[in-house]
Amino acid sequence: MDFLLGNPFSSPVGQRIEKATDGSLQSEDWALNMEICDIINETEEGPKDALRAVKKRIVGNKNFHEVLETCVKNCGHRFHVLVASQDFVESVLVRTILPKNNPPTIVHDKVLNLIQLRSELEMVSGNVRVMSEMLTELVPTQACLMEDIEQWLSTDVGNDAEEPKGVTSEEFDKFLEERAKAADRLPNLSSPSAEGPPGPPPGPAPRKKTQEKDDDMLFAL
């Protein structure tokens, strides 16, 4: 279906990929490779246009592996998704390890590892929905917790807050001094337990002798 999209080397990134994999190059052009990465990362169609150009330069072109490796290491998630897709692995990378292309051992092993990884991902793809639902249930709780923490952290506890009032050390010393002076002004009272309870107030002296004298006078009469 790529033929319906026109020449893959007509886009800005396609032109640079074609130049970076040209057989006349004596060595890798790292400045050009990094320019390719910048276009992939900074433009909307960069990842797709780059993959289309890469597919055309996958076999029989110089520095292809270096260009692709540089892009994988320096480009973002959008490019990685396309490179790891089943279509790219099966229709592009597998071609690089065909015996007729005499691939280097390291390239052969890397492609086989990537194919194996794709197979493992397909095996666990059935659990993706379950994990997604679990994460969906956990996210609201975590979001609420973060809101509480953010609200707590944003509470203004600046210098304007009124501090609780208390008795200072100076005020307490003054209080003790006044109590001591008041105690000195009190009369020196003896302890109640030493003298016993107080007796009744003194009254008029008894008139016992006078009463006896009056009685004697009555008997004499």
Q: Which of 63-67, 73-77, 113-117, 217-221 has the lowest mean pLDDT?
A: 217-221
Q: Which residues of 164-199 are buried (b: 16+ CB within 10 A; e: fewer)?
A: eeeeeeeeeeeeeeeeeeeeeeeeeeeeeeeeeeee
Is residue 62 a contact partner of residue 19, using CB atoms and an 8 Å limit? Answer: no
- Is 185 domain-assigned? no
- Is 54 domain-assigned? yes
| Beta-strand runs (E) in 74-220 | none
CATH code for position 79 = 1.25.40.90
- Is 188 domain-assigned? no
With a CB cutoff of 8 Å and minimum separation 6, the contacts of 37 are 70, 71, 74, 75
- Is 212 domain-assigned? no
pLDDT band at residue 80 using 50, 70 and 90 as cut-offs: confident
| CA atoms of 82 and 47, how far apart (whole Å) | 8
- Is the pLDDT score of 26 beyond 50? yes
Q: What length does the chain have?
A: 221
* Rounded (10°) CA dihedral 209, 211, 212, 217: 130
Domain span including residue 65? 1-83
Number of domains in the chain: 2
- Is the pLDDT score of 199 beyond 60? no
With a CB cutoff of 8 Å and minimum separation 6, the contacts of 35 are 16
pLDDT score at 3: 46
- Is 118 domain-assigned? yes
Share of the chain above pLDDT 90, in %: 19
| CA atoms of 185 and 5, how far apart (whole Å) | 112
- Is the pLDDT score of 19 beyond 90? yes
- Is 22 domain-assigned? yes
- Is 29 domain-assigned? yes
If asked whether residues 74 and 2 sit together in one domain, one would say yes
- Is the pLDDT score of 130 beyond 80? no
If asked whether residues 57 and 95 sit together in one domain, one would say no
If asked whether residues 48 and 76 sit together in one domain, one would say yes
Phi, psi of 34 (to 5 degrees): -70, -30
Q: Which of 134-143, 161-170, 193-202 has the lowest mean pLDDT?
A: 134-143
Q: Which of 102, 43, 114, 103 is nearest to 72 (CA)?
A: 114
- Is 115 domain-assigned? yes
